[in-house]
Amino acid sequence: MTSQLSAVLGAPAPGAVPQLRSITIQRPAMSEHGLLDYVIRDDSLVWSRRGEGTVGFGQVARFEASGPERFAEARAWWDAVAAASEVEDNVNQAGTGLIAYGTFAFSFSSSYVSRLIVPRIVVGRNDACSWITYTVSDPAAELSVEAAEAELAALLEDYSPEHELGTGIDRLVAGQISEESYLESVRKGVSVIESGSITKLVLARDAVAELGSPIAVAQVLRQLALRYSDCWTYSVDGLIGATPEMLVRVRGDIAEARVLAGTLDRATAPSGDADYAHRMLLEDEKQRHEHQLAIDSLTEQLGPLSSGMDAPDEPFVLQLPNVWHLASDVKATLAARADGSVPSMLDLAEVFHPTAAVCGTPTKAAGVILRELEGMDRGPYAGPVGWIDTRGNGEFGIALRGGVIESPTSIRLYAGCGIVAASDPAAELAESWAKMRPMREALGL
């Protein structure tokens, strides 16, 4: 969009540094599922877990970048926006004031454009309070809570998507990587690992859900949020899903991550065997090895950036409706740099991405091999997705268990599996189906 045209439309061109004005005010407390009452529009921005999070509406500024410098460029833009904007934050908590939602391409060579989006209205809820943030880019616009509430009410009331139109025939079709080619790439991956150049490789595949009527995005998100309450439900510009894995969450100088690796399908679990998950995950050498590689890669990167770190010796079993995972929660106090600042959310997202849970070990060599064996542009799948505020707080999950909406009636789903020397191709293929199940069920497939 040219700057002339964007001036006419009232939205700055992507990448221009807008001078925003923003106000945040506390709202009456919401019930536990109150935030989901705002997940009505299919075009909302959403970040939610266990009733906490934010729902964003509209867009007052947008940044786009591609290539190896996408994180650094996003950081520079966000710092400039924060410096240029007037923010009246009457709540002063993580996620209040000006925020941007973001998604980043998995690979520096992806054709997917990484982006940050500053919404016009944000409704938020945490364990202490609820709030609304209103942001305008037009210097003449009224900046008041009354204007925000009126605009929000209109956005929610006037919305009536036509989900019922269409053929009514829904189907799941093969994506760029068929089941056969996936089995073949896992076989090759195991051989590469056996040759000793890498120890772990995460191989993904895709499938396309073609629906007979437009995707009811908001309904899918509400269903994911309610059913997968331990996951972070996200929706940013056509990338939707519910991820169980937290790349990094920052509150002040505390950074936290939830590392997952090691998976067991619940659909094929024998009934009445209470110790099954414990035995098959915690006591299984292959699964523990796969998990340890993911933990080591995170702690090696976090160590030099922190003054103290709490990484458990033993993982726990995370139970989701579709699978069990081996999981570890890592917490660190970020060390101040020479200028007294701590690394920002985007600094950390860049350092940690891609983790061994989505790429492999060692990272660089595994990345090269995965590009070769998968031969697919992952787009934003397995890249960071989440939000940042202007105080350095934020949350970036890993964009897993989701998909990219490619047209009003089609969405490309992705799933990958950690491959180690002991991996069985057929079991990995089955695991990839188990990881697509949350989206398939939410889509009614």
Ligand X SMILES: C=C(O[C@H]1C=CC=C(C(=O)O)[C@@H]1O)C(=O)O
What is the β-pairing status of strands 394-398 and 99-103? unpaired
Residue 181 C-alpha from the chain's centroid: 27
In whole angstroms, what is the distance from residue 212 CA to residue 164 CA? 9
Q: How far is the CB of 69 from ligand X (least distance, A)?
A: 25
Tokens of 183: 């089995």
Q: How far is the CB of 298 from ligand X (least distance, A)?
A: 12
Q: How far is the CB of 295 from ligand X (least distance, A)?
A: 12
- CB closer to ligand X out of 309 and 433: 433
Beta bridge partner(s), residue 317:
326
- CB closer to ligand X out of 141 and 269: 269
Continuous H helices in 357-424: 363-374
User: Do 201 and 189 meet the contact criterion of CB atoms below 8 Å apart?
Assistant: yes
User: Do 154 and 121 meet the contact criterion of CB atoms below 8 Å apart?
Assistant: no
What single string gives the DSSP state of each residue in 270-314? PTT-TTHHIIIIIT-HHHHHHHHHHHHHHHHHHGGGEEEEE--SS
CB atoms within 10 A of CB 206: 24
Contacts of 325 (CB under 8 A, 6+ apart): 244, 260, 261, 262, 263, 264, 281, 317, 318
In whole angstroms, what is the distance from residue 54 CA to residue 126 CA? 9
Contacts of 184 (CB under 8 A, 6+ apart): none
- CB closer to ligand X out of 125 and 435: 435
- CB closer to ligand X out of 133 and 355: 355
- CB closer to ligand X out of 161 and 397: 397
- CB closer to ligand X out of 36 and 260: 260
Q: How far is the CB of 45 from ligand X (least distance, A)?
A: 22
Q: How far is the CB of 418 from ligand X (least distance, A)?
A: 3
Q: For the chain, what is the largest distance between any 2 Cα atoms, rounded to a whole number of angstroms?
A: 67
- CB closer to ligand X out of 40 and 400: 400
424 DSSP 8-state letter: -
In whole angstroms, what is the distance from residue 197 CA to residue 127 CA? 47
Tokens of 158: 């006037």
Q: Point out which residues bind ligand X (CB under 6 A).
A: 202, 204, 245, 260-263, 325, 357-358, 400-401, 415-418, 435
- CB closer to ligand X out of 255 and 294: 294
Q: How far is the CB of 135 from ligand X (least distance, A)?
A: 33
- CB closer to ligand X out of 20 and 202: 202
> Taking phi first (over 0 means left), then psi (-120 to 50 degrees means alpha), and beta for anything else, what does residue 10 get?
left
Q: How far is the CB of 302 from ligand X (least distance, A)?
A: 18
Q: How far is the CB of 143 from ligand X (least distance, A)?
A: 42
